[in-house]
Amino acid sequence: MIDIVVTLVFSIVMLLFMAFPAIKIAEFLEAKLSLTQKRKNILIITLTIALSLMVGLFLRYF
């Protein structure tokens, strides 16, 4: 249980820093695909959360 809590704490801290890469990835995908503004916003939020969790897992286990 403590592993999950520590990973989430690391991930919450990284949310702010992962917003910029998520925006850049979404802009790249928007150039390749035709995305509506709503789908782009959902993609940015999803990518921000996913990238933050990946960095949190990396910080916890490596």
The whole-model pTM stands at 0.89
Residue with token string 């403590």? 2
The H-assigned helical ranges of the chain are: 2-32, 37-61
- Domain count for the chain, please give it: 1
Question: What single-letter amino acid sits at 27?
Answer: E
Domain containing 29: what range?
2-61
> How far is the C-alpha of 14 from the C-alpha of 32, rounded, in Å?
27
Q: pLDDT tens digits, residue range 4-37?
A: 999 999 999 999 999 999 999 999 999 999 999 9
CA dihedral 46, 50, 55, 61 (to 10 degrees): 160
Cβ contact 46:23 at 8 Å: no
